[in-house]
Copies of this chain bind each other. A is one copy, B any other.
Amino acid sequence: MPEFRRDPIGGYWTIISTERSRRPVEFHAQGPTEERECPFCEGREAETTQEVFAIRPGGAATNTPGWEVRAIVSKMPILPEGAATEAYGQGIYDIMDGIGKHEIIIESPKHCHDLDEMDPAAVEKVVQAYIHRINAFEKDPSFKYALLFKNHGLTSGSVRDVIRHSRSQLIGLPVIPKRVKEELALAKSYFERRERCVFCDVLKQETKETLRIVAENEFFLAFCPFASRAPFEMWIMPKWHQADFGRLDEDKIRPFAELLRECLIRLRDVLDDPAYNFILHTAPFRHMAKAVYWKTINEDYHWYLQISPRLTKNAGFEWGTGVHINPTPPEDAAQLLREAQV
């Protein structure tokens, strides 16, 4: 079982694989290896791990063809399922069992590489699947957060990009990650000072200045953030105030899917299918609703999807300072993305 270990100097948790240690020679053999047939395509259901969810309009049986979106348990989970013991100390160090849940959401029965190749109705079903799975994770009281993300292309850090079949990943976590906690704390302190949501204020300023807007529809705004850490970074944010992506109303799913698809088409047009990560920023699960900390989350937090192309590499300066260097101003990136052919 992997271990969460906390560094007493930096305060961060790391997941250490203790089951099977990766040896030096294995880091060299890291290049993509050809897979003959794609295990995620329709018709090969028996070869994947256990199916946990699928949209099957015809009502076909589990683990058979006839699905439009399908979620399976990861074959190589970052955090496996299991019963966790209590966290404990080892001298000045803290340790916790690396228990969680890791699902793969296969976004199409056909062999396509990303959402931008699918039609809007198909992307709508993918978003329905995201919402279904996040809400399913929320029902398990052992998870405090579920992170939805996508690794697209080799430099996105995807270890199996050679498969080239569009998919996202969802990981249930027994802790609220440091990055999420920091965002929550800042949103809360902003609200306390001004009685306004910082995300709503960002939307107001972006709408007024217009120069960083990429695309929009009635319900969502897509823009390059003012302090973009990655060149051509985009955020898709609901124009109304909502803390939980999992509470997205039925009638907003299609507009969100359409804008997401459009942003990915624009990205591909401008940058010729770049590697990217997308990360959903949403409120943590609130089983412990009594805690004072959670009281204000519905008013001070606001979900959004962050799309970060991986065009540059981090080096000593970024690791040492936490400050990223972005060689393309978001105003220039937004203009190019706006002018793209869709």
User: Which residues from chain A sit less than 8 Å from chain B, CB to CB?
Assistant: 4-18, 21-24, 27-28, 30, 78, 91-93, 147, 149-151, 155-159, 169, 171, 173, 177-180, 182-183, 186-187, 190, 198-199, 201-202, 205, 208-209, 225-229, 231-232, 270-272, 274, 277-281, 308, 311-330, 332, 336
Most chain-B Cβ atoms within 10 A of its Cβ — which of A9, A91, A149, A270? A9
Chain B nearest Cβ from A189, distance in angstroms: 10
Chain B nearest Cβ from A312, distance in angstroms: 8
List the 4 closest pairs (A to B, CB-CB), nearest first.
A157-B315, A149-B316, A177-B321, A22-B327
* Docked-complex contact B322 and A7, CB < 8 angstroms: no
Query: Once the chains are docked, how many angstroms separate the CA of A159 from the CA of B178?
Result: 30
The contact sample of 11 A-B pairs, CB cut-off 8 A, is: A5-B227, A7-B225, A14-B324, A14-B325, A17-B328, A24-B270, A24-B272, A78-B325, A92-B205, A277-B315, A277-B316
Question: Who on chain B is nearest to A225 by CB?
Answer: B7
* Docked-complex contact A14 and B227, CB < 8 angstroms: yes
| A14-B228, A21-B329, A319-B279 known; A8-B201 Cβ under 8 A | yes
Residues on the B chain within 8 Å of A281, using CB: 320
Query: Once the chains are docked, how many angstroms separate the CA of A112 from the CA of B218?
Result: 60
Most chain-B Cβ atoms within 10 A of its Cβ — which of A24, A187, A201, A225? A24
Residues on the B chain within 8 Å of A92, using CB: 198, 201-202, 205
Chain B nearest Cβ from A84, distance in angstroms: 16
Chain B nearest Cβ from A341, distance in angstroms: 14
* Docked-complex contact B183 and A231, CB < 8 angstroms: no
Residues on the B chain within 8 Å of A319, using CB: 149, 179, 277, 279, 308
**A14 contacts which of B4, B9, B209, B326 (Cβ < 8 Å)?**
B326
Residues on the B chain within 8 Å of A326, using CB: 14-17
* Docked-complex contact A183 and B226, CB < 8 angstroms: no
**A11 contacts which of B182, B208, B315 (Cβ < 8 Å)?**
B182
* Docked-complex contact B16 and A202, CB < 8 angstroms: no
| A7-B226, A22-B231, A322-B179 known; A317-B13 Cβ under 8 A | no
Chain B nearest Cβ from A106, distance in angstroms: 16
